[in-house]
Amino acid sequence: MALGDSYTAGPGIPSRSGTPTGCDRSDHNYPTLVAHELGVETVDFHDMSCTGATVDDLTAPQTTDRGTNPAQLSALTTHTALVTLGIGGNDIGFSELIRQCAKSGILYFATGSGKYTGNHAPCRGQYVDGTTDTVRQKINTVGDRLADTLAEVRRRAPQARVYVVGYPGILPAAAGDCGRDMGLAPGDVTFLHQEQQQLNTTLRQRAEDAGAGYVDTYAPSNGHDVCSARESRWVEPLVPLAPAAPVHPNARGERGMADAVINTIKASKGS
């Protein structure tokens, strides 16, 4: 059973699969690849992931521009044996955060790249004021809600092995040439990277607290971010050069995430 958002669904990667079509699931997303690798029969494989999904959409129907996806947890039963869950990015508005920072970056580069202001992270200041970080606050809220979700998954599917799947690296830790390529000020590349790391840390902690497994897709994706070489990147930039949604995994990325899930499952079986 696969639950999750667009990083699970794989929008833009050929070919589209399942209903509603508005969820933009790919038949080469990581849940499908994992199911194939583990020899799961088609009749036993259920991919409920949907582009745009938030934690709310796990327990309530999600309306898309082409149909309604049922509450994702509705597919769980007492016979469910395996659950993967990738969620949280939409709850903190990460895609919008990147777009907003790109807008700030355009102005940054047009006005001397911080030469006159000394501010190399103009976007960060819109979200961080002293010790108050509004993105971190949203991440903490996601963590609390994920804890409740995992308890509900356990109630509905008590025999299932449950794995929370983290997000692969989207941006490098340091800007290098990445900032200009993505339209991001160098300090904002670091800011966004740190916020994503915090989200993954929170997902891991909540998974472990609930007795679920955690799949680290960040470590294997290191060096394959949006600013890496076109032929090796896992995540496409704002203007994709391979079939994928902007700032989302391409087919290589979904394959890498699938490998991380499979390796984690095999390791947990052996422990």
- Active site residues per annotation: 6, 248
Q: Which residue has the tokens 């070489």?
A: 229
Residue 183's CB is within 10 A of a number of other CB atoms, namely: 19
Instruction: Give me the sign of the Cα torsion angle 256, 260, 265, 269.
Output: positive
Phi-psi region of 4 (alpha: psi -120 to 50; beta: other; left: phi over 0): left
Instruction: Say how many CA atoms lie within 13 Å of 182 toward its Cβ.
Output: 31
Write the burial class of residue 132 (CB in 10 Å: 0-12 exposed, 13-18 middle, 19+ buried). Answer: exposed
